[in-house]
Amino acid sequence: MVLLLQCGDQKGIVAKVSDFIFRNDGNIITANQHTTDPAKGHFSMRVEFEIDSANKDILEFKNEFSRIADSFGAKWQMHDKSRILNMGILVSKPDHCLVDLLYLVKSGELPVNIPFVISNYENHRSLAEQYHIPFYYVAANKSNRQEDKILALANNSDFLVLARYMLVLSKNFLSSYAKDIINIHHGFLPSFKGANPYRQALDRGVKVIGATAHFVNEDLDDGPIISQSVEYISHNDDLTSLIRKGKNLEKRALSSAISSYIDYRIIRLGNKTIVF
């Protein structure tokens, strides 16, 4: 089990949580905490622990813990880490992130199920079928996003990954889906939002390029950042070399973000994240 907890910082939180797990015959495996300001800041905590579900009803355990959490006004989640999540994938023409994710899942490096790949490009069908994953072609474009069709297919997923899906999801889609969506942006946010970030970076003469995996919200490329990868560049680089280097950064940042997500290591704090 994994406990994610956040509240205003105060004395005794760690002691109460640890004592509760101990009194219920649990065993703490790892525990991490972070305080933004010890005097009057925000407290975040991740605890991974074992508990004998054969001798303890998990629902009862959670109900009992809610009284502990309420005593210091905490928001909290408790997850069964043994449950394998269903990760739906949306992708447009670029396939490098899709290829990487399919390999990582097949190799066991990302322990998730992929119930579907949805694309507005038909050419990914053979790749998905090689991995025995259902592929759905949806003829979406900027003038007709086909979000009702996508939503109907996406409902059996626990979260979505936009593996270079190049259409912006509407506010209505986000509210209807109502689950987490992770996007990979081919730029080092918050710089170079929107289209053609590598061209923007080249024109600006930056010395570092990056890729950013973030949660999707209603504002373009503005959701809480989960993971970033960077690489130094020089005046010798052109647009082609930036794109080539950037593809590796995109794959690295996206897989890192997904790994943190399925391991329940992320706590959102406003428009930021704490990743334990």
Q: Which residues are catalytic?
A: 221
**Distance from first CA to last CA of the chain, Å, rounded?**
15
CA 101 to chain centre: 13
Helix (H, G, I), strand (E, B) or coil at 129: helix
C-beta separation of 82 from 53 below 8 A: no
C-beta separation of 73 from 146 below 8 A: no
Per-residue DSSP letter, 167: S
The two structure tokens encoding residue 37: 């300001």
C-beta separation of 4 from 18 below 8 A: no
The two structure tokens encoding residue 252: 């690295």
Between CA 246 and CA 22 the distance in angstroms is 47
Between CA 167 and CA 194 the distance in angstroms is 11
- Short-list 209, 216, 125, 136, CA closest to 168: 216
